[in-house]
């Protein structure tokens, strides 16, 4: 059954001159099908570089919008039009404009998990992979507004020693991982290294050994000898980790850490997307041009 569908996708991909990009949280079969998998920063860089005519973005809406902003001449398709990111939707451009009015001299950094309109209102964009480095590079004589994820913001503030003006947004998937989850996993696998995503809460992060983006987790494990890891982020990354490191063992800190939006993408929807050129993601020109400035800065700042 899947064989037929995979053949169809392969054929349509060639006909459309398309490339399939997938985030590390995608279902296993989508990661296996993709031409390229990665974290938000890796995928943005790849979307900006590809010479394909069509990008099928297996991820959530803000990621596909980012691809449109960086590669406006390409058609960017999101196989499920309702695959959104509730964290990104915790802030609107209007709300950010109001916040900027209260801090007129502030630099504005937005996490890439944000709507295109919010990126257009920001000076700099960042991902979880380069937030610390980006905040560290900002002039110290101006305050910094950081939106919308308060946990990534606190992490960047702590690492850089900067006081940031934070927006109270959060990711429901990551805040559902509790301190007890980490303590229980550590009791079960005492010799495992614990890796957490910066979107986790501060008490959870304090119990972990490494705070990393999903792409950084993959790079970290590739360089290490230990064979056991507890993973405090969305469970989809475990497929990528196992594939790359078949001899190591990976234990999810919580089986509840499943992003329902990331899991909306299926093989059927990818085939439909290529066949019917659906669902095209568009960003109005005025927003796109302004948002591109903050994104260009983001892809210049590679993580340490």
Spell out the residues 6+ positions from residue 86 whose beta carbon is closer than 8 angstroms to its own: 171, 172, 261
What does 201 interact with, of ligand 13P, ligand SF4, none (CB < 5 to 8 A by kind)?
Answer: none
Q: CA-CA distance, 57 to 265, in Å (whole number)?
A: 10
What does 261 interact with, of ligand 13P, ligand SF4, none (CB < 5 to 8 A by kind)?
Answer: ligand SF4
Contact 9, 274 (CB under 8 A): yes
Q: How many CA atoms lie within 13 A of 63 on its CB side?
A: 36
Q: CA-CA distance, 183 to 254, in Å (whole number)?
A: 11
Tokens of 135: 């905040």
Contact 131, 155 (CB under 8 A): yes
What does 86 interact with, of ligand SF4, ligand 13P, none (CB < 5 to 8 A by kind)?
Answer: ligand SF4
Least Å from the CB of residue 29 to ligand SF4:
19
What does 74 interact with, of ligand SF4, ligand 13P, none (CB < 5 to 8 A by kind)?
Answer: none
Binding mask 81-120 for ligand 13P (x = CB under 6 A): --------------------------------x-------
Q: List binders of ligand 13P among 131-160 (CB under 6 A).
A: none
Instruction: Tell whether the torsion through CA atoms of 238, 38, 158 and 102 is positive or negative.
Output: negative
Q: Looking at beta carbons only, is 69 or 85 nearer to ligand SF4?
A: 85
Site for ligand 13P contains 127 (CB under 6 A):
yes
Among 21, 56, 171, 207, binds ligand 13P (CB under 6 A): 171
Contact 56, 18 (CB under 8 A): yes
Least Å from the CB of residue 216 to ligand 13P:
7
Contacts with ligand 13P by CB under 6 A: the residue count is: 11
What does 182 interact with, of ligand SF4, ligand 13P, none (CB < 5 to 8 A by kind)?
Answer: none
What does 267 interact with, of ligand SF4, ligand 13P, none (CB < 5 to 8 A by kind)?
Answer: none
CB atoms within 10 A of CB 105: 8
Spell out the residues 6+ positions from residue 65 whose beta carbon is closer than 8 angstroms to its own: 115, 116, 281, 283
* Chain residues that interact with ligand SF4, rule: CB under 6 A: 60, 85-87, 113, 171, 173, 234, 259, 261-262
Least Å from the CB of residue 197 to ligand 13P:
6
Long-range contacts of 138-141 (CB under 8 A, 24+ apart): 138/107, 138/109, 138/162, 139/107
Among 122, 160, 214, 294, binds ligand 13P (CB under 6 A): 214
Q: CA-CA distance, 245 to 242, in Å (whole number)?
A: 5
The binding site for ligand 13P (CB under 6 A) comprises: 24, 39-40, 113, 127-128, 171, 197, 199, 213-214
């Amino acid at each position: 059954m899947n064989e037929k569908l995979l053949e169809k996708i392969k054929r349509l991909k060639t006909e459309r001159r398309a490339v399939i990009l997938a985030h590390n949280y995608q279902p296993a079969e989508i990661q296996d099908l993709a031409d390229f998998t990665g974290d938000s920063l890796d995928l943005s860089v790849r979307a900006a570089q590809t010479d394909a005519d069509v990008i099928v973005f297996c991820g959530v809406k803000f990621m596909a919008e980012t691809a449109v902003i960086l590669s406006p001449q390409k058609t960017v398709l999101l196989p499920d039009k309702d695959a959104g990111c509730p964290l990104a939707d915790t802030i609107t451009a209007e709300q950010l404009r109001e916040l900027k009015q209260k801090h007129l001299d502030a630099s504005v950094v937005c996490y890439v998990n944000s709507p295109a309109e919010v990126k257009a209102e920001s000076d700099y964009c960042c991902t979880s992979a380069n937030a610390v480095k980006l905040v560290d590079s900002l002039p110290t004589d101006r305050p910094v507004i950081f939106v919308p994820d308060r946990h990534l913001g606190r992490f960047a503030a702590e690492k850089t020693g900067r006081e940031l003006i934070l927006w109270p947004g959060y990711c429901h998937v990551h805040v559902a991982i509790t301190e007890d989850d980490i303590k229980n996993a550590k009791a079960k696998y005492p010799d495992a290294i614990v890796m957490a995503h910066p979107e986790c809460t501060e008490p959870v992060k304090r119990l972990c050994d490494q705070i990393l983006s999903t792409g950084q987790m993959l790079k970290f494990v590739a360089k290490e000898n230990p064979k056991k890891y507890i993973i405090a982020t969305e469970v989809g990354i475990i497929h990528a980790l196992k594939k790359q490191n078949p001899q190591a063992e990976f234990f999810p800190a919580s089986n509840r850490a499943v992003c329902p939006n990331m899991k909306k993408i299926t093989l059927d929807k990818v085939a439909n997307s290529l066949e019917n050129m659906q669902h095209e993601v568009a960003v109005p020109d005025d927003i796109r041009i302004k948002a591109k400035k903050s994104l260009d800065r983001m892809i210049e700042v590679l993580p340490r």
